[in-house]
Amino acid sequence: MASDDPSKLRSHVWFNGREYYNFSRRANLRSLGFNRDIFKGKPVIGICNSWSELNNCNAHLRQVADAVKRGVWEAGGFPLEFPTISLGEQFMKPTTMLFRNLMAMDVEESIRANPLDGVVLLCGCDKTTPAQLMGAASADIPAIFVTGGPSLSGNYKNKPFGTGTDGRKIFDLYRTGQVSEEEMIEIEGCMVRSAGHCTVMGTASTMASITEALGMTLPGCAAIPAVDSRRYAMAELSGKRIVSMVREDLKPSKILTREAFENAVMVDMAIGGSTNAVVHLLAIAGRAGVKLTLEDFDAISRKTPFLVNVRPSGEHLMEEFFHAGGVPVVMKELLPLLHRDSITVAGSTIGENVASAECFNRDVIRALDAPLHPTGGTVVLGGNLCPRGAVIKPIAASPHLCKHRGKAYVFENYQEMHDSVDSMDLPIDKDTVLVMKNGGPIGAPGFPEWGHIPMPKVLLAQGVSDCVRISDARMSGTSFGTVVLHVTPESAIGGPLAVVRTGDEIELDVEARKLNLLISEEEMTSRLAAFKPAPPHYKRGYGKLFLDHVTQADEGCDFDFLHRLEE
Ligand code: FES
Q: Which atom of ligand 1 is nearest to the CA of 90?
A: 3
Q: Which atom of ligand 1 is nearest to the CA of 57?
A: 1
**CB-ligand 1 contact for 150 (6 Å cutoff):** no
**CB-ligand 1 contact for 192 (6 Å cutoff):** no
Q: Which atom of ligand 1 is nearest to the CA of 202?
A: 2
Report the pLDDT averaged over residues 174-178.
89
Neighbours of 372 (CB within 10 A): 18
**CB-ligand 1 contact for 204 (6 Å cutoff):** yes
> What proportion of the chain, given as a percentage, has pLDDT over 70?
99
| pLDDT beyond 70 at 567 | no
CATH of domain 379-555: 3.50.30.80
| pLDDT beyond 80 at 1 | no
State the distance from the centre of ligand 1 to the C-alpha of 476, rounded, in angstroms. 9
**CB-ligand 1 contact for 240 (6 Å cutoff):** no
State the distance from the centre of ligand 1 to the C-alpha of 429, rounded, in angstroms. 33
Report the pLDDT averaged over residues 1-21.
88
State the distance from the centre of ligand 1 to the C-alpha of 373, rounded, in angstroms. 27
| pLDDT beyond 70 at 566 | no
Asked whether the CA dihedral 412, 414, 418, 419 is positive or negative, the reply is: negative
| pLDDT beyond 50 at 400 | yes
CA 55 to chain centre: 15
* CA-proximal residue: ligand 1, atom 2 (nearest): 198
State the distance from the centre of ligand 1 to the C-alpha of 282, rounded, in angstroms. 21
State the distance from the centre of ligand 1 to the C-alpha of 394, rounded, in angstroms. 22
Q: Which of 333-342, 363-372, 471-480, 536-545 has the lowest mean pLDDT?
A: 471-480
State the distance from the centre of ligand 1 to the C-alpha of 90, rounded, in angstroms. 7
Amino acid 480: pLDDT? 86
* CA-proximal residue: ligand 1, atom 1 (nearest): 125
Return the best residue to mutate from 51, 60, 89 for the ligand 1 pocket (most ligand atoms within 8 A of CB). 89
State the distance from the centre of ligand 1 to the C-alpha of 128, rounded, in angstroms. 10
State the distance from the centre of ligand 1 to the C-alpha of 458, rounded, in angstroms. 30
**CB-ligand 1 contact for 126 (6 Å cutoff):** yes
15-58: pLDDT as tens digits: 998 999 999 999 999 999 999 988 888 999 999 999 999 999 99
| pLDDT beyond 70 at 299 | yes
| pLDDT beyond 70 at 246 | yes
Instruction: Give Cβ neighbours of residue 316 (< 8 Å, ≥ 6 apart).
Output: 160, 309, 310, 363, 364
Report the pLDDT averaged over residues 539-561.
98
Could you state, in order of their start, the residue ranges of all structural domains in the chain?
A: 42-153+193-354, 155-190, 379-555
Range 21-60 burial, b when 16+ CB lie within 10 A, else e: ebeebbeebeeeeeeeebbebbbbbbbbbbbbeebbbbbb
Quote the pTM value. Answer: 0.97
Neighbours of 408 (CB within 10 A): 21
State the distance from the centre of ligand 1 to the C-alpha of 126, rounded, in angstroms. 6
State the distance from the centre of ligand 1 to the C-alpha of 9, rounded, in angstroms. 37
**CB-ligand 1 contact for 201 (6 Å cutoff):** no
Q: Mean pLDDT of all residues in the chain?
A: 96
**CB-ligand 1 contact for 12 (6 Å cutoff):** no
**CB-ligand 1 contact for 57 (6 Å cutoff):** yes
Burial of 396 (0-12, 13-18, 19+ CB in 10 A): buried
**CB-ligand 1 contact for 90 (6 Å cutoff):** yes
Report the pLDDT averaged over residues 393-407.
95
* CA-proximal residue: ligand 1, atom 3 (nearest): 89
Q: Which atom of ligand 1 is nearest to the CA of 205?
A: 4
CA atoms within 13 A on the CB side of 223: 25
Give the whole-angstrom CA distance, residue 430 versus residue 166: 23
92-140: pLDDT as tens digits: 999 999 999 999 999 999 999 999 999 999 999 999 999 999 999 999 9
CA 398 to chain centre: 24
Give the H or E element holding residue 502.
none
Return the best residue to mutate from 51, 125, 209 for the ligand 1 pocket (most ligand atoms within 8 A of CB). 125
Domain covering 42-153+193-354: architecture: 3-Layer(aba) Sandwich (3.40)
pLDDT greater at residue 176 or residue 446? 446
Q: Which atom of ligand 1 is nearest to the CA of 126?
A: 4
Q: Which atom of ligand 1 is nearest to the CA of 55?
A: 1
Report the pLDDT averaged over residues 360-386.
97
State the distance from the centre of ligand 1 to the C-alpha of 293, rounded, in angstroms. 26
Amino acid 516: pLDDT? 98
**CB-ligand 1 contact for 195 (6 Å cutoff):** no
DSSP 40-103: SSPPEEEEEE---TT-GGGTTHHHHHHHHHHHHHHTT-EEEEEE-----TTT-SS-GGGGHHHH
Neighbours of 77 (CB within 10 A): 24
State the distance from the centre of ligand 1 to the C-alpha of 197, rounded, in angstroms. 5
**CB-ligand 1 contact for 125 (6 Å cutoff):** yes
State the distance from the centre of ligand 1 to the C-alpha of 125, rounded, in angstroms. 5
Give the whole-angstrom CA distance, residue 285 versus residue 217: 17
State the distance from the centre of ligand 1 to the C-alpha of 448, rounded, in angstroms. 14
